């Protein structure tokens, strides 16, 4: 099955000369740094917003990406599980057996911290994390990754003896709106976040020095300098070019001024004035519109074609072989209940790669249930009299199926395929979380920026495509319904 999808992907996607593949995480600064690296390298491919550290690290090891911007503290604590604060040389000694290296320090430290609204912190007399540990009754809103990291909430809670239980995870971009509205009292921040000043937050002092330094570097595969010597030489020129004030300025351009990540990255080489006012139509029909549309269509159509090729025979099997009915329907039903992100994560681990292939397999699996059930229900609906008439005519079982039962069952089969197609249009937006592109790429970016325009610029085309697909299949149902009635008169 894996090779089937690989061949389909290779057939449908145009072959290109090898380019350096640069990944980024799902928060503003990482998106911008990814664009900075693409601009510097020239001709590189950016796979934005792939997820958290675990997904980026897995993608790097598998060769799905060649490098991505990372932080020394994250490499030490989250990837290598090292104690203390190792320097870059120590990190490289530990990374070398993995075929990885860390290089090109960009020039700034972006540490984790906890923050509160200034007036709330002042009223409670909280200036440091030790003060927070002595407080009670506060509501925390922490990002999912911070809650799960050893150098995040678990270690911080232990180091300071903080009495609060671990809260439910909250998206980093949404947490700023929540703290501004007073719905939470404390959130985790990155110290180069532009919104700290905008929302008048007090960054709590790490008085016990729990957090290590998080100096921005490039985490790369050791063969990158040999495979892409010119691009690597260009990237090395970024060393020490971005200080903390510059990074905050770039983040502010995206989060506060409404610039795209690419426009924000371009400010590293220019202090250009603000761009023209941003309108929703400009965002909707931006330069990436047709690329995202083609990626989304590939995801939906390839997975749907595979679902039809496998689902219709499975539906026939479940109806013809009664011993297999509950087995087939049960298995495809259980697959449908698996959460999308959990299935994507499982497939990434199984295949050792991110991108189009795991997304296609996941969408194919989700496509099966409506098609299998539609085929099974259609064949079950064929009257006993029709089967007996076909038997009296001396038709073989294969001829009965092909000439009588399938034509009569076509409305049910087509309805199942339509349902599957519409579901897959929506589910394909989740594929952006594993670097497969599509309209979900805008939705992921919009979540990172808490930008409703970008969110809607991804959601509206996906909804429109679902309506177009549904309309096309309803037209097909009417046509094939006529064919089924004609088949029933044979």
Q: What is the pLDDT of residues 361-371, one digit of tens each?
A: 999 999 999 99
pLDDT number for residue 481? 56
Going from N- to C-terminal start, the domains of the chain cover 17-109+214-278, 112-203, 289-488
Q: How far apart are CA 372 and CA 334, in angstroms?
A: 13
Q: Ramachandran region of residue 100, left (φ > 0), alpha (ψ -120 to 50) or beta?
A: beta
Q: How far apart are CA 5 and CA 354, in angstroms?
A: 14
pLDDT number for residue 449? 74
Q: How far apart are CA 380 and CA 175, in angstroms?
A: 52
Tens of pLDDT, residues 224-235: 999 999 999 999
Query: In this structure, are residues 458 and 430 in contact, taking their beta carbons and an 8 Å threshold?
Result: no
Q: What letter does residue 127 receive in the DSSP assignment?
A: -
Direct distance between the N- and C-terminal alpha carbons of the chain, in angstroms, rounded to an integer: 38
pLDDT number for residue 473? 83
Q: Kindly tell me if the per-residue pLDDT of 4 is higher than 50.
A: no
- Is the model more confident about 152 or about 483? 152
Q: Do the strands 201-203 and 45-47 form a parallel or antiparallel pair, or are they unpaired?
A: unpaired
Query: In this structure, are residues 413 and 477 in contact, taking their beta carbons and an 8 Å threshold?
Result: no
Q: Kindly tell me if the per-residue pLDDT of 386 is higher than 80.
A: no
pLDDT number for residue 89? 95
- Is the model more confident about 435 or about 99? 99
Which secondary structure element, helix H or strand E, spans residue 461, and what is its range?
helix 452-488
pLDDT number for residue 277? 62
Query: What's the whole-number mean pLDDT along residues 51-69?
Result: 90
Fold of the 289-488 domain: MetI-like fold (1.10.3720)
Q: How far apart are CA 295 and CA 304, in angstroms?
A: 14
Query: What's the whole-number mean pLDDT along residues 468-479?
Result: 80
Q: Kindly tell me if the per-residue pLDDT of 3 is higher than 60.
A: no
Query: What's the whole-number mean pLDDT along residues 71-99?
Result: 93
- Is the model more confident about 205 or about 164? 205
Query: What's the whole-number mean pLDDT along residues 268-287?
Result: 73
Query: What's the whole-number mean pLDDT along residues 110-131?
Result: 95
Question: Please, what is the average pLDDT of the chain?
Answer: 87
Q: Kindly tell me if the per-residue pLDDT of 2 is higher than 60.
A: no
Q: Kindly tell me if the per-residue pLDDT of 275 is higher than 90.
A: no
Q: Kindly tell me if the per-residue pLDDT of 5 is higher than 70.
A: no
Beta bridge partners of residue 92, listed in sequence order: none
Q: How many CB atoms lie within 10 A of CB 360?
A: 26
- Rounded alpha-carbon distances, angstroms, from residue 310 to 316, 317, 340, 417: 10, 11, 20, 12
pLDDT number for residue 131? 95
pLDDT number for residue 388? 63
| DSSP percent split of the chain into helix, strand, coil, nearest 5 | 65, 10, 30
Query: What's the whole-number mean pLDDT along residues 98-124?
Result: 95
Query: From start to end of 136-240, where are the E strands?
Result: 140-141, 186-190, 201-203, 216-221
Fold of the 112-203 domain: D-Maltodextrin-Binding Protein; domain 2 (3.40.190)
Q: What letter does residue 277 receive in the DSSP assignment?
A: P
Beta bridge partners of residue 140, listed in sequence order: 186
Which pLDDT band, with edges at 50, 70 and 90, does 170 fall under? confident
pLDDT number for residue 385? 65
Does CATH number 1.10.3720.10 belong to domain 17-109+214-278?
no
pLDDT number for residue 15? 46
Q: Kindly tell me if the per-residue pLDDT of 489 is higher than 50.
A: no
Q: How far apart are CA 46 and CA 24, in angstroms?
A: 8
pLDDT number for residue 309? 95
Q: What letter does residue 169 receive in the DSSP assignment?
A: B
Closest CA to 189 of 107, 125, 117: 117
Q: Kindly tell me if the per-residue pLDDT of 436 is higher than 90.
A: no
pLDDT number for residue 480? 57
Same fold across 17-109+214-278 and 289-488: no
């Amino acid at each position: 099955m894996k090779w089937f999808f690989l061949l389909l992907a290779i057939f449908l996607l145009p072959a290109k000369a090898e380019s350096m593949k640069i990944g980024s995480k799902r928060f503003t600064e990482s998106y911008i740094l990814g664009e900075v690296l693409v601009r510097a390298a020239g001709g590189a491919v950016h796979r934005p917003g792939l997820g958290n550290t675990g997904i980026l690290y897995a993608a790097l090891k598998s060769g799905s990406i060649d490098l991505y911007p990372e932080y020394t503290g994250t490499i030490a604590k989250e990837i290598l599980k090292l104690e203390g604060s190792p320097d870059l040389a120590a990190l490289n000694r530990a990374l070398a057996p993995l075929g990885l290296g860390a290089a090109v320090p960009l020039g700034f430290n972006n540490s984790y911290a906890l923050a509160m609204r200034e007036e709330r912190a002042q009223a409670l007399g909280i200036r440091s994390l030790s003060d927070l540990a002595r407080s009670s009754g506060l509501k925390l809103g922490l990002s999912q990754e911070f809650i799960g990291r050893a150098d995040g909430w678990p270690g911080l809670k232990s180091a300071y003896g903080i009495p609060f239980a671990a809260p439910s995870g909250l998206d980093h971009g949404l947490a700023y709106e929540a703290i501004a509205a007073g719905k939470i009292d404390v959130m985790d921040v990155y110290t180069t976040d532009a919104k700290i000043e905008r929302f008048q937050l007090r960054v709590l002092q790490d008085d016990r020095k729990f957090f290590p330094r998080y100096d921005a570097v490039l985490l790369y595969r050791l063969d990158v300098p040999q495979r892409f010597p010119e691009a690597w030489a260009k990237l090395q020129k970024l060393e020490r070019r971005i200080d903390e004030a510059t990074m905050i300025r770039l983040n502010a351009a995206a989060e506060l001024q409404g610039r795209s990540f690419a426009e924000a990255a371009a400010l590293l080489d220019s202090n250009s004035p603000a761009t023209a006012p941003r309108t929703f139509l400009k965002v909707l029909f931006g330069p990436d519109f047709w690329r995202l549309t083609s990626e989304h269509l590939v995801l939906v159509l390839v997975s749907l074609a595979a679902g039809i090729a496998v689902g219709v025979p499975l539906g026939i099997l479940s109806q013809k072989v009664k011993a297999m009915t509950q087995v087939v329907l049960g298995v495809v039903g259980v697959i449908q209940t698996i959460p999308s992100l959990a299935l994507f994560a499982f497939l990434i681990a199984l295949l050792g790669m991110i991108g189009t292939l795991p997304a296609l397999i996941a969408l194919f699996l989700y496509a099966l249930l409506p098609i299998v059930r539609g085929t099974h229900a259609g064949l079950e609906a064929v009257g006993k009299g029709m089967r007996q008439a076909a038997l009296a005519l001396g038709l073989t079982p294969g001829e009965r199926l092909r000439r009588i039962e399938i034509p009569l069952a076509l409305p049910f089969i087509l309805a199942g395929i339509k349902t599957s197609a519409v579901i897959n249009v929506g589910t394909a937006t989740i594929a952006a979380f594993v670097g497969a592109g599509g309209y979900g790429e805008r939705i992921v970016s919009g979540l990172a920026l808490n930008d409703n325009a970008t969110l809607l610029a991804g959601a509206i085309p996906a909804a429109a495509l679902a309506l177009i697909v549904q309309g096309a299949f309803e037209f097909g149902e009417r046509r094939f319904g006529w064919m089924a009635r004609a088949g029933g008169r044979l």
